[in-house]
Structure 1
Amino acid sequence: MDKLSIVVPCFNEEEAIPLFFPAVEKVVNQINDLLVEYWFVNDGSEDDTLSQLRRLHNKYPERVHYVSFSRNFGKEAALYAGLNATSGDFVVVMDVDLQDPPEFLTKMYDSIKTGEYDCIGTRRVDRKGEAKIKSFLSNQFYHVINKISQTNIVPGARDYRMMTRQMVNAVLSLKEYDRFSKGIFSWVGFKTKYLDYHNVERVAGETDWSTWKLFKYAMDGIADFSQAPLSLAVWLGTGSFIISLIGIILVIIRRIVEPNSSVFGWASLVCLILLIGGLQLLCIGIVGKYVGRVYMQSKHRPIYIIKEKQ
């Protein structure tokens, strides 16, 4: 009998948990000869999320388990902790807000059981109900990162996916501190099939992913899976040097051709200084971003700290 582990990161989801569990149970109970375990990860929630998880565990002690962090470490850490806790032959990652349709679990299981695929993922074909600016930035992110990275990240792909134990072990073998799961799932390889669906709105609560947080998350993804920003810094520096060199030559030529003429005014000089200084700061910032990630990794700090586990 196969065992399915369901990993569910939670942050301030006290309203969604009572709706999520019965919805998923209704689907998995229809699958014959399948043992199921739930691993909820409380990512430092400030509401009643932990109490809800304790109630579920007390009611279903053999089926429902949870990990509670000492503070908020972020969804990536929660995903990693949940995958670490699982013991199933197959592992599913789901959001608790039911934006990941539970009815897909049957299709996922039937497809992965054939042995043809190592992962059955999902992707949204639209973003109906989301802010236009958020949808635009998301689409641009996929366009940019697939241009500059050797790791292909499927546009609209969700973390919602079912994986074999072999693929899960491969993901867990990557111990990097700054994690970008969408890129990691693609980087480890393995044959993946995607199921398309239309965007589904949250059943309860509000998302913690603001436009600014999504932007920072996208920048982390680019830094994790591309060295293009470093190349950009090199080209900006080279271009700035060439332009400055041409400017100096033009000033010298003008001085020779027209000895009595004045050189360019102070305003032009100030603009050039600001331009070159700005490019230097930009390049230093890009390099600093990568150096900072190396620094954090070199500290060997744990990705998360567990306060309670059941």
Structure 2
Amino acid sequence: MSKISFIFPVYNEEESLHALFTEMQKLIERLPNDEVELVFIDDGSADRTYMMLTALGHEYPFVKMVSFSRNFGQQIALTAGLDYASGDAIIVMDADLQDPPNVALELISKWREGYAVVYAKRRTRHQEEVFLRKIVAHLYYRLLNALSDIPIPTDTGDFRLLDRKVVDGLKLCREHSRYIRGLTSFVGFTQTSVLYDRHNRFAGQSKYTLLKLFKLALDGIMSFSVKPLKVISYIGFFISLFSFLGATYITLKRIFFQQYTVPGFTLTIILLSFFSGMQILILGIIGEYIGRIYIEAQNRPLYLIKHKINFPDT
């Protein structure tokens, strides 16, 4: 008999919890030979999520909860779930039912074949998703793989199955700017995927704003590549080369042809603005890397726990 852990990071999901738990009960009935635990990470919810999970935990011993002292973010919530899940296989899912629970059976089947990581790869995205967001997501994954030193599967979210040895490897990675999708690729082991159709949210609105999505994308690029710094070096080299050639050309015209350049105010302003903007951009990229070093040097805990339910030490 194997133990299967399901991890659900939740933030203000009171409208979805009842339907999610009903679907998970149906799924558990289809795993009669396995022990199952549901690990909910309450990421500082401000609605009734905490109370509903507390009630479920008191009624069902296999329902476990870790509640944060405040909102630490989805990637940190996933990290806490991996820290506290005790299964031989751990499945990460969204709590809004966009990840169909029945797909977990396909993930488990692949795991039993011997794969250590099984991604749920989107065949289609849900209809409510904005077209522009779909295009941006498509381009982002291609850009990430072009810049990353480690191949990261495209069109996959956090919905995946991880073997215990993979989770043990992930638990050794304690950086603060976390990108679980990239870290999973970093850990390695045998990996595969299954295709599925992503559903619409059961209720409520997505907690991932455009700003949060941008930060997650930035974490993905900055955490797994130093190529932006190399690009800066290339840009600096070509700008310097261009300036040197231009200065040489003007000097030779003055010496051999007695030609003097007429100063152009508009051109000067345009070039000044362009190179000033380039300098600010370059400093911003360097600043991002330095800022991440500063955060890591502080060595603060990734999260703080307010309450736990149905764990041995509670």
Give RMSD over aligned pairs: 1.5
Counterpart of 1:108, as a letter, is L
- Equivalent residue number for residue 150 of structure 2: 151
- Equivalent residue number for residue 64 of structure 1: 63
Q: 1:250 to 1:270 in 2, by over 3 A?
A: farther
1:29-68 map, 5 Å: 29-60=29-60, 62-68=61-67
Shift of 1:262: 4.3
* Residue-pair matches, total: 308
Counterpart of 1:122, as a letter, is A
1:126 and 2:135 matched: no
TM-score of the pair, normalised by structure 1 = 0.95
Shift of 1:128: 3.8
- Equivalent residue number for residue 307 of structure 2: 308
Which stretch of structure 1 is more off in the superposition, 74-83 or 152-161? Answer: 152-161
| Structure 2: gaps spanning 5 or more residues | 310-314
Shift of 1:256: 3.0
Q: Secondary structure at the match of 2:124?
A: coil
Q: Secondary structure at the match of 1:16?
A: helix
1:271-290 map, 5 Å: 271-290=270-289
Q: Deviations over 1:11-69 (max 9, x none)?
A: 11010111101101101222122111111001111211111111111211x21111111
- 8 Å contact from structure 1 (residues 5, 37) kept in 2: yes
Output the CA distance in 1 between the equivalents of 2:215 and 2:164. Answer: 31
- Equivalent residue number for residue 251 of structure 2: 252
Shift of 1:136: 0.7
- Equivalent residue number for residue 209 of structure 1: 208
1:90-239 map, 5 Å: 90-114=89-113, 116-129=114-127, 130-239=129-238
Output the CA distance in 2 between the equivalents of 1:174 and 1:93. Answer: 17
TM-score of the pair, normalised by structure 2 = 0.94
Output the CA distance in 1 between the equivalents of 2:174 and 2:297. Answer: 12
- Equivalent residue number for residue 270 of structure 1: 269
- 8 Å contact from structure 2 (residues 107, 120) kept in 1: no
Counterpart of 2:124, as a letter, is D
Shift of 1:263: 3.2
Structure 1 runs (4+) greater than 4 angstroms displaced: none
Q: Deviations over 1:234-258 (max 9, x none)?
A: 1111111111112222322333355
Counterpart of 2:85, as a letter, is T
Q: Percent of aligned pairs with the same residue?
A: 34
Shift of 1:127: 2.1
Output the CA distance in 1 between the equivalents of 2:110 and 2:267. Answer: 65
Output the CA distance in 2 between the equivalents of 1:4 and 1:177. Answer: 27
| Structure 1: gaps spanning 5 or more residues | none
Output the CA distance in 2 between the equivalents of 1:148 and 1:44. Answer: 34
Which stretch of structure 1 is more off in the superposition, 136-145 or 211-220? Answer: 211-220
